[in-house]
Structure 1
Amino acid sequence: MELTATIARDELVERCKSGHAPSYETLYQKYAKAMYNTSLRIVNNSDDAEDVLQEAFVDAFRSLRDFNYRSTFGAWLKRIVINKSINVLRKRRVQLVEVTEFHEDAVAEPEPVNETEQAWQVALVKRAIEKLPDGYRTVVTLYLLEGYDHEEIAEILGITHNTVRTQYVRGKQKLLTIIKEGGVL
């Protein structure tokens, strides 16, 4: 038996598809802040994040007739925002080092952190993530904040799963170092 998820039609999206101009503004207002924050976490520059936001909405509105509810509108738009954010990083010539072979024991794991005793403040962690190099920040953001798995990140970035894993492990280590050294205050 095949299981399929049915995504309910969004009335606001349907009104936009029919050309109802005020609905475009409502749809923009509904998603703009979340999509801006998603982009900002990846590109780490407010001007670039604003540009990504505008370009993503322009592309989404142009392609709205092709949107067919295989996912929610928000998930579809988020994928556009993430792809455009990655393109901004590529224009900056972010180089993710390709790893030919990965051994988990080759990368020293940080000392275990008892997360229940450490009440990390979300703002502190986000500020620390902003201080990561672009490659690490992108992978850490997509994994920890956006909820993508390593295979999905590899596909989005066009790199191998092992490179994503390495970037994530190293990024996480660097993030912990920044936090422990108090580099985010």
Structure 2
Amino acid sequence: MLKQLVEQCQRDNAFAQKRLFDQYINRLFRVSLRYVRHEPEAEEVLMNAFLKAFRSISSFSYRDENGLEAWLRRIVVNEALQHLRANRQLPPFLSDDEIDDQPDSVALPDAGLDVERIYALIRELPTGYRTVFNLYVIEGYTHREIAEQLHISENTSKSQLSKARAVLQTWLIQNGYETETRRNA
């Protein structure tokens, strides 16, 4: 079914494009929002990504649903990075001194952390930390690929990831959530 939908999109069928859009809009909006904090900007990134996808779908070779989603996700991520660059939000990356300007505490629910809360915490990270964290941890890019995408060194990528993890861990500890390692120590 999805393969036929892609084939129809490749023939510029507007109805098929709308169906594909509807099928992936929610998942891909969350991807966009992980990189671009404000919803209107994330929506703009997503719309631009879908336009690019529909323009280049003729060169897409359908293998399975996972391949299609991965292809669409990569377009969204690339569009989000392009948006951050165009708005001068990326780079430069934060230095150790600038982290003091970030929130000391993030209010967490009394119950255990859920996926939505972790997602919200990641969105609170400074842009550089958040971008590298998302690319490495969530999207599965290597530090070399991140360095190439962001025009930074691999060591900067590693440093940004380390700092992002440290900030997240600090926020969790400050709000009463300790890692298993700390509890068992």
TM over 0.5: yes
Match among 76, 79, 83 for residue 88 of structure 1: 83
Q: Shift in Å at residue 146 of structure 1?
A: 2.2
Q: Any stretches of 5+ residues in structure 2 without a counterpart?
A: 96-111, 177-185
Q: State the partner residue of 2:134.
A: 141
Q: Secondary structure at the match of 1:44?
A: coil
Partners of 1:128 and 1:179 within 8 A in 2: no
Consecutive aligned runs of 4 or more in structure 1 exceeding 4 Å deviation:
none
Identity of aligned residues (%): 39
Larger relative contact order (CA 8 Å, sep ≥ 6): 1
Q: Shift in Å at residue 38 of structure 1?
A: 0.3
Question: What CA RMSD, in Å, does the superposition of the two structures yield over aligned residues?
Answer: 2.4
Q: How many residues align?
A: 156
Q: Shift in Å at residue 98 of structure 1?
A: 9.9
Q: Secondary structure at the match of 1:10?
A: helix
Q: Secondary structure at the match of 1:78?
A: helix
Partners of 1:98 and 1:163 within 8 A in 2: no
| Paired amino acid for 1:41 | R
Q: Shift in Å at residue 92 of structure 1?
A: 3.0
Q: Shift in Å at residue 170 of structure 1?
A: 0.7
TM-score (norm. length: structure 1):
0.75
Residue 76 in structure 1 maps to residue 71 in structure 2: yes
Residue 36 in structure 1 maps to residue 32 in structure 2: no
Match among 102, 110, 123 for residue 116 of structure 2: 123
Q: Shift in Å at residue 22 of structure 1?
A: 1.4
44-53 vs 86-95, which moves further:
86-95
Partners of 1:125 and 1:179 within 8 A in 2: no
Q: Secondary structure at the match of 1:147?
A: coil
TM-score (norm. length: structure 2):
0.75
- Kindly indicate which of the two structures has a greater share of residues assigned to helix: 2
Query: Whole-Å Cα distance in 2 between the matches of residues 40 and 52 of structure 1?
Result: 9
Q: Which digits, 9 at most, give the CA deviation of each residue in 1:51-87, with x for residues without a partner?
A: 0110011111111212234882221211111111111
Residue 49 in structure 1 maps to residue 42 in structure 2: yes
Q: Which digits, 9 at most, give the CA deviation of each residue in 1:148-180, with x for residues without a partner?
A: 232222222222211110100011101111222
